[in-house]
Amino acid sequence: MDKPLSGIKVIDMSTFIAVPACARLLAEFGAEVIKIESKGGDLVRFNGVSEGRLGSPYENTTYDLENAHKRDLVINLKAPEGREILFKLLETTDVFLTNWRPQALAKLGLDYESIKDRYPKLVYGAFTGYGETGPDCNLPGYDFTAFWARGGIMGSLMQKGAEPINLVPGMGDHISGYFMASGIMIALYKALKTGKGDKVSTSLLHSSIFIQGIPMQAAQYKDLGQSYPISRKDAENPFNNTYKTKDDRYLQLSMPPFDVFYPKFMPLIGREDLVGNTRYTMDSITKNHLHREFIEILEEAFLKKTAAEWLEIFAANDIPCSLCQVWEEVLEDKQAWAIGAFEEMDYPISGKRAMVRPPVTLEGVEKLPYVRAPFLGEHSEEILRELGYTDEQLEEMHKNGIYNTWDDLRERCGGQIPDLN
């Protein structure tokens, strides 16, 4: 199967979500990706119970989401022999991805400055929580802290007077990881044209700030608009708001050009009497602080019909509106399945599960079928043999703890079940 990135070799020396997701996207389009782990393993391998799913290595939906189509090598990078294995791999590698903290990379001689001259064509991807400079560059960075909290999302978008929203694991990581992928492809294109690699850097904090660029910049105009957090009852644009229906569901409207939609929308909710009322233009609502008053009019109207009834009316009249669905409903959403957002995969423990596919497709490229991610150390000996190590060398390195295989680590990762293949 011909793939756009066939022939591109990637080393993924990372943990958790963002960088593994970046590498998974590259693998999806044909890159050969080798994931480097310590024998302790990427901790996402062991997060099942805390995420409300199975804790077995044989049905690890999160790990498979981020690491399908990769091979796995477990080496001890603290040992010189282990680092030498990585250096050998880098001789034929196009892209090196890591989210290790800068001081840890420098300690092992794996920072960009230490290896860029040795591998001049290498594209080096460095991902951090808070960036590589500044007073907090070495803080541990996770999406809950660096992306959601420090970046301003949680504090700004909570309902005024309420508690912060519940967070979704991996959301900030996935966004940031795909930013990383875009930078990697730009640098890779440059390297293929010029023969010179480059360093690509991004962070959770910067990604968070960028996706909020519109309101972040507007926040400088302190005498205009409202300071967040606000209540949904005071939404700047009442047509970009949520409304409760007769059956206790919420609908999200999205009509940014308020005055354009107003004469069409108001009759649909039974308030044609307000069409032409200059009190409720966007300019008047803003200048006279009528947000709450107008939103109460809409709230009263929405409570007269069920969500399904409103959705039928709005769809027939081309009004942008969606039901605020929960995950169980999205898993059954026919439109989501139609666009290939999900694919079923068989697991040996509980059978078919809906797996989320990467959100990027190419018309002329056949999708890879969904497969499980590699077990910890599953391909160690295979990869080392490809590097030219003999059986005698492998035996000696294995005895000295330079590398590990799945057979070594199977028990601590959850044992085994029969007939996996």
Q: Is residue 58 part of a domain?
A: yes
Render pLDDT for 171-198 as a digit per residue (tens, 0 to 9).
Answer: 999 999 999 999 999 999 999 999 999 9
Residues 147 and 185 in one domain: yes
CA distances from 124 to 68, 230, 315 (A): 21, 42, 47
Q: What is the C-alpha separation between 340 and 343, in angstroms, rounded?
A: 7
Order of all β-strands in the sheet with 250-253: 242-244, 250-253, 321-323
* pLDDT reported for residue 414: 86
Residues 163 and 99 in one domain: yes
Range of the domain at 274: 232-244+250-323
Q: How far apart are CA 190 and CA 280, in angstroms?
A: 53
**Predicted TM-score (pTM) of this structure:** 0.93
What residues contact residue 112 under an 8 Å CB cut-off, 6+ apart? Answer: 124, 126, 199
Residue 220 lies in a domain: no
In a domain, 142, yes or no: yes
Sign of the Cα torsion 332, 333, 335, 337 reads: negative
Q: Which tokens belong to 50?
A: 């805390």
pLDDT at 419 over 60: no
Output the pLDDT for position 421: 47
Polymer length of the chain: 421
Listed residues 277, 300, 323: the one ending a domain: 323
Q: In the predicted model, is pLDDT for residue 420 greater than 50? A: no
Residues 262 and 203 in one domain: no
289/371 same-domain check = no
Q: What is the pLDDT of residue 418?
A: 47
Residue range 333-367, pLDDT digits in tens? 999 999 999 999 999 999 999 999 999 999 999 99
DSSP assigned state of 186: H
Residues 51 and 182 in one domain: yes
**Which residues does the annotation mark as catalytic?**
173
Same domain, 45 and 171: yes
Could you tell me the pLDDT band of residue 416, with boundaries at 50, 70 and 90? low
Statement to judge: residues 318 and 348 lie in one domain: no
- Domain end residue (candidates: 268, 298, 323): 323
8 A C-beta contact, residue 137 and residue 50: no
Q: Give 111-130 pLDDT, tens digit per residue.
A: 999 999 999 999 999 999 99
Residue 365 is predicted with a pLDDT of: 94
